[in-house]
Amino acid sequence: MIEVRIGLDAYRIATAELPLSARRVPGMPSVLGASAEVVGAGDGAAVIVLSDPAPDELSELPDGLRVVVDREWLRPDVVADAVTATAADAAAMFVAECAAPSGGGRRILREAIGWLRELSGEELVLREVGTAAGGAMALFDAGDRAATVLFTELSDPLARPRLRALAVGVERTEVEIDALGATSVTVSSETGDLRLPARRESRQRLALRRAIDAAGGAEVRDLEQLRLDDALAAAILESHKRR
């Protein structure tokens, strides 16, 4: 049985939904701002769960942590569905479009970049940034192929972000996350469109299950990947700011 310390109320329900593998114990996570902390039954090393951390929170994290990141716009189960359905080697290019008010631009942009990284299966190298009053466009190398991200800055400060990512080749995989956060994955080919079943598990329960696996020894690279995505998003928005 794995012990869980709760730092965010949504994870109380998630812990209760895993009665055979997790139990809540008193106390707060040892890392300030953590959503939950899972303590392994073996070496006792903790796995921290972070929910959509702000950019400044990433720089404040101590070194040596094992971290599962609960990313609303880049759920690993939906990623796995999209990647499995995509013939990544056959895709010629990758495109992501995202939109958000200026205050949320960096978060949604890093998630769009994360989708490009996941769909291509490659580390992205930023090549060029073009900016305009209403947003920015960035070109990446994804191995020997191209990837593009388009960011639109919404004038309504209360508007919800939106995101769409495409892998384009003989078949096309489209991932769309609407303003309400609903995600759809559609694979299109010459035989028609196939919409994959929606995932129903809560993101908090998914994150806790992954943290429990990590406490048992499973590899987790969430924080490393998030920092890479965030650094690229910051570089794009810095160019936009200098315009």
88 and 45 fall within a common domain: no
User: Residues 182, 84: one domain?
Assistant: yes
> Span 57-75, mean pLDDT?
91
Provide the pLDDT for residue 175. Answer: 97
Do 216 and 118 have their domain in common?
A: no
What's the structural domain count of the chain? 2
Q: Are residues 114 and 190 in the same domain?
A: yes
Residue 214: is its pLDDT beyond 90?
yes
- Please indicate, yes or no, whether residues 34 and 105 belong to a single structural domain of this protein: no
pLDDT at residue 181, rounded to an integer = 81
Please state, in angstroms and rounded to a whole number, the distance separating the CA atoms of residues 227 and 110: 9
Residue 241 lies in a domain: no
Per the DSSP assignment, residues forming a β-bridge with 177 are 163, 183
**195 vs 103 pLDDT, higher one:** 195
Q: What value does the mean pLDDT of the chain take?
A: 92
139: in domain: yes
Residue 123 lies in a domain: yes
Q: pLDDT at residue 117 above 60?
A: yes
Q: What is the 3-state secondary structure (H, E, C) of 16-78?
A: HCCCCCEEECCCCCCCCCCCEEEECCCCCCEEEEEECCCHHHHHHCCCCCEEEEECCCCCHHH
Residue 242 counted as domain residue: no
Tell me the pTM: 0.94
Residue 91 pLDDT more than 70? yes
- On whether both 68 and 113 belong to a single domain, the answer is no
Query: Both 60 and 109 in a single domain?
Result: no
pLDDT tens digits, residue range 135-183? 999 999 999 999 999 999 999 999 999 999 999 988 999 999 988 888 9
Q: Residue 6 domain-assigned?
A: yes
Whether residue 237 is contained in a domain is answered as no
Q: What is the pLDDT of residues 190-201, one digit of tens each?
A: 899 999 999 999
Percent share of the chain, pLDDT over 90:
75
| 112: CATH | 3.30.360.10
Among the listed residues 198, 103, 227, 217, the one whose alpha carbon sits nearest the alpha carbon of residue 155: 103
Mean of pLDDT values over 205-212: 96
User: Is pLDDT of 43 > 70?
Assistant: no
Whether residues 13 and 93 share a domain: the answer is: no
Please indicate, yes or no, whether residues 82 and 60 belong to a single structural domain of this protein: no
Instruction: Find the domain containing 9 and state its range.
Output: 2-72+202-220
Q: Which of 85-94, 104-113, 201-210 has the lowest average pLDDT? A: 85-94
How many residues are present in the chain?
243
Distance between CA atoms of residues 143 and 120, nearest Å:
8
Q: Is pLDDT above 60 for 120?
A: yes
| In the predicted structure, residue 243 carries a pLDDT above the cut 80 | no
